[in-house]
Chain A
Amino acid sequence: MTRYAFFPGCLIPARHPAMEFAIRSTLPKLGIEIVDLDGASCCPDPIYFKSKDKLSWLTVAARNLTLAEDLGLDIFTNCSGCTATLSETYHLLQDEELRDRVNHRLARIGRKYRGTSRVRHIATLVRDEVGYDAVRESVKRPLDGLRVAIHYGCHLLKPSRIMQVDNPDDPQVLERLIEALGATPVRHGNWYLCCGKACDGDEIPNQMMHDLLTTVHQEKADVLGMICPTCFGQFDHGQMKIAKLFDEDFHTPPIYYFQLLAFAQGVPYERLGFDRQRFKPIALQRYEEVATK
């Protein structure tokens, strides 16, 4: 087992505990030991918190990173927003002057940022430390024939110089992770588009979501796979709003990748919290019936 410090953030533990359950269920089966961090706060939020005061944002983020440094562990995140904040902090604080300014503040609470813990998004952790083959071997019920449209979201990939996850113009990581479950990844026409959640106001995000849902729907996928809880909210609760607003039915249930993995590894459908979603990935149930026959 390789040990990694788990940075859960806010949205997944507080709003989507089913996602956290899936992470805690799947990673140990892939040889990763989850080490919880004591005293972690919000990453903090890379949109509004950063917009308010970037130095405070960096300082709070650096404090979170020191918690993993204290344990001598690399950190993994389960949310693209947390990944953006912590990766950018790691990147910016390579600048000595800025690091001194942040450490000057951290000294108020007896902490010092060193830059010794790397930040990994959970998808890249699985890709790089576990490997697609080991994911495939962990699967108990292959999802043959399941069409999974993919939404990458923005902050997993961009800015690539800082995130260092994948080629933002032709990413592969989610496609390969979905293939490892036996499912078929589907790239839809607007795959590159932002979910719009971080844009203030309604008009722009509504139009964006409408165009996204339209091209997702054209693919007739069974589910829409993703790795970001913010995007997930846009595609679940948000999908209902857009369907009403435009009087169109898109009906593609979103699913967080690690819930899909947990299901493929044999966790029963009803234990994965799908009943709380507005659009439920009922297409999965046919694999459950096959397995119990």
Chain B
Amino acid sequence: MSSSDAKDDIVRVDFAFKRELAQKIEGNLANFCYQCGACVGDCPATRYSSAFNPREIMLKVLYGLEAELLGPDSVLWQCTNCYGCHERCPQEVKPVEVIISLKNMLADRGLAPPAADRVIQTFMGNGRTVPDNPAIDKQRAKFGLPPLRPVPMDEILALLGPEDEEGSGS
């Protein structure tokens, strides 16, 4: 950046974004990131994609650069979920969990990729992530295995409704 237009490059921390992230389970952990980069060397997505860098993602979280994180086709979906960064982080930031919290925010905004929607849709139908198919039980029978056990979907669906407000008296 040139010094003359440095004024335009001032980054204002977006606290609303950071508060929303902190509401997610383990979303607030990025606050402990001191940008050492231990997560980067072990990251297979970084090795194979120039766009993905967990240290940069944590930095953007610290600044609250929502627009760079939570758009359509977000780079966050390139995470391989290998948990290497969780293993390496000396601050126990668990970058992969911060990324998952950000993905929860993407899902809240209707920006999850089709693969995620397919998994959820299948699960809502039969409680599994593999669609029902009569061939499955036939295959199982060949190995002397009983049919797949049914999943009590009434229980599952009851659990998935929105969280009722604590202490709302309802």
Which residues on A are within 8 Å of B, measured CB to CB?
A: 10-11, 13-15, 17-18, 20-21, 24, 36, 38-42, 44-56, 58-60, 63, 84, 92, 98, 101, 104-106, 108-109, 111, 154-155, 158-160, 168, 193-194, 196, 198-201, 203-205, 207-208, 273
Contacts and interface: CB of A to CB of B under 8 A. Distances in A.
A155 B161 CA distance: 29
A91 to B, nearest CB: 11
Contacts of B140: 13, 17, 20
A18 B143 contact: yes
B87 A201 contact: no
Contact of A158 (B78, B84, B106): B84
B169 interface: no
B59 to A, nearest CB: 21
A154 B120 contact: no
Interface of B: 24-26, 44-45, 48-49, 77-84, 86-87, 94, 100-101, 103-104, 106-107, 112-113, 115-116, 119-120, 123, 127-130, 136, 139-140, 142-145, 148-152, 155-156, 158-161, 163-164, 166
A44 B123 contact: yes
Contact of B107 (A39, A47, A51, A200): A51
Given A51-B103, A154-B82, A199-B79, 13 more contacts: A21-B143, A39-B149, A39-B155, A48-B116, A52-B104, A54-B25, A104-B166, A105-B159, A111-B155, A154-B83, A200-B115, A201-B77, A204-B44
A41 B128 contact: yes
B25 A198 contact: no
A200 B77 contact: yes
Given A13-B148, A17-B139, A44-B129, A200 B78 contact: yes
